[in-house]
Amino acid sequence: MEPAEIMGVVNVTPDSFSDGGEWFDRDAAVTHGLRLSADGAAILDVGGESTRPGALPVPEDEELRRTEPVVRALARMGGATVSIDTTKLSVAEAALDAGARYVNDVTAFRGAPELAGLVADRQARCCLMHMLGDPRTMQQEPRYADVVDDVKAFLTERAEFAVREGVGEHLIDVDPGIGFGKTLAHNLELLARTDEIVALGFRVVIGVSRKSFIDRITPAPDPHDRVPGTIAANVLAYERGARVFRVHDVAESRQALQVASATLQRDGA
């Protein structure tokens, strides 16, 4: 059984829902990234633009200013693969020049289609995520005929686009976008049926860390108090075949997923 891969979140933003402002300073962000790597993160996902519901876009030059120095420092220090969480071509290009080897695009190359060609040219790994609309509008009465079928169709189409642009299939990860244009019921349906998304043939990334749907199930208004709910959702998704987990709390998540992996592999299962 393939082990879980932990993607640690390094938000260089003043307004992210879960830790906005905590790591906005460049040196603080680098120190935080190194701590996450030491805790077991295989990937460090550096982002300079919040994608929380209602978030406004960040100007390109500001996003570059926030992310490029952090990416460069973390890549130079080695260890974990550095990822850039962006929808902008110039930001991704600067990050790849600075040593990033992964591009995490919440628009799945819809925001900047040229990103696919850049990823292909650099032979970088990428994550294509499902989202309705954009962060400003995604939670305005999201509706689906069948959320899993609709998300699968979207991810298939975007992966096919990436392959046509030259991205190797083995370099493509897909993310159902928990919380991105979904109700609580949609989120739970996607988690329960993660195996259907895994069946598409790509590594599946799950990003539930500290998200508000956990508070809807069991009151935890402070995002920092949602770690147990995050772990529960990740373990269930791992059992259903997901293998990459984007989290803020790396050490706790890694321990839980290691126990889940050992249990599922018992007696050679």
Active site residues: 211, 246
Q: DSSP string covering 13-29, please?
A: -S--TTTTTTT-SHHHH
Using alpha carbons, select from 23, 93, 18, 14 the residue that is nearest to residue 49: 14
Please give, one letter per residue, the 3-state secondary structure of 74-137. Answer: HHHHCCCEEEEECCCHHHHHHHHHCCCCEEEECCCCCCCCHHHHHHHHHCCEEEEECCCCCCCC
CB atoms within 10 A of CB 17: 18
Question: What's the rounded Cα separation, in Å, for the pair 198 and 14?
Answer: 34
Instruction: Tell me the two tokens of residue 263.
Output: 């249990």
CB atoms within 10 A of CB 69: 17
- Exposed / middle / buried, residue 145 (Cβ in 10 Å: 0-12, 13-18, 19+): exposed
CB atoms within 10 A of CB 99: 16
The single residue listed with the structure tokens 């890549």 is 75
**Could you tell me if 197 and 148 are in contact, meaning their C-beta atoms sit under 8 angstroms apart?**
yes
Q: DSSP string covering 182-225, please?
A: --HHHHHHHHHTHHHHHTTSSEEEE--TT-HHHHHHS---SGGG
